[in-house]
Amino acid sequence: MKDRRSNVLIIMTDEQPVQTVNCYGNDWVRRDIGRIFLQIFDVALSAWTSGRPGLCIFEETCGSALAMEYNGDLCSCDHFVEARYKLGNGQRTGLAEMADSRRQHHFGQAKKDSLPQYCRNCGVQFIYNGGCPKNRFTATPSGEPGLTIFVKDIEHFSLMLTAL
């Protein structure tokens, strides 16, 4: 069908380098924008055209993806369900109060404040913003901690974007 919207699932493995995605990215930009929706491409396009990626891991700050456990405990994010990120318990404290707490604002702001200088100097920072803090456990070439483990993939992907 001509105008049918489609969903495509790309599963990446270590053996299947990011070039595969980059290769498809070239086709997507030329033929498939608005027709086939791939999150990583759509997020990049959104950042490029509106200045906002629209997905927490790519935004400058975060903190709107809280996670509640079966017993009512509320944590800052579903990537950080740990005691030190517990904001309280929904049986005792209002959800809005916890979501709007200073601790939660600090959690979201820390995504920006902890960004290594290496990322701040990067030409595609506005698209990626260092990625999710959960994955920032390697170091920059100068030894600064807090670099995402996906930095090589991002560099490849960004090169593809800037070449288009």
- Residues in the site for ligand SF4, rule: CB under 6 A? 56-57, 62-63, 65, 77, 79-80, 111, 132-134
Complex with ligand SF4: residue 45 or 77, whichever CB lies closer: 77
Contact 98, 88 (CB under 8 A): yes
Question: Is the Cβ of residue 26 or residue 114 nearer to ligand SF4 in the bound state?
Answer: 114
The distance of closest approach from Cβ of residue 57 to ligand SF4 in the complex, given in angstroms and rounded to an integer, is 4
Cβ-contact 85, 109 below 8 angstroms: no
Q: Is 32 a catalytic residue?
A: no
CB of 66 to ligand SF4, least distance (A): 8
Work out how close the CB of 14 gets to ligand SF4 at its nearest, in angstroms, rounded to a whole number: 22
Q: Which of 78, 100, 113, 153 is catalytic?
A: 78
Spatial separation of the C-alpha atoms in residues 144 and 131, rounded to whole Å: 16
**98, 115 contact by CB (below 8 A):** no
DSSP conformation letters of 95-125 = HHHHHTSHHHHHHHHHHHHT--HHHHT-TTH
Tell me the catalytic residues: 78
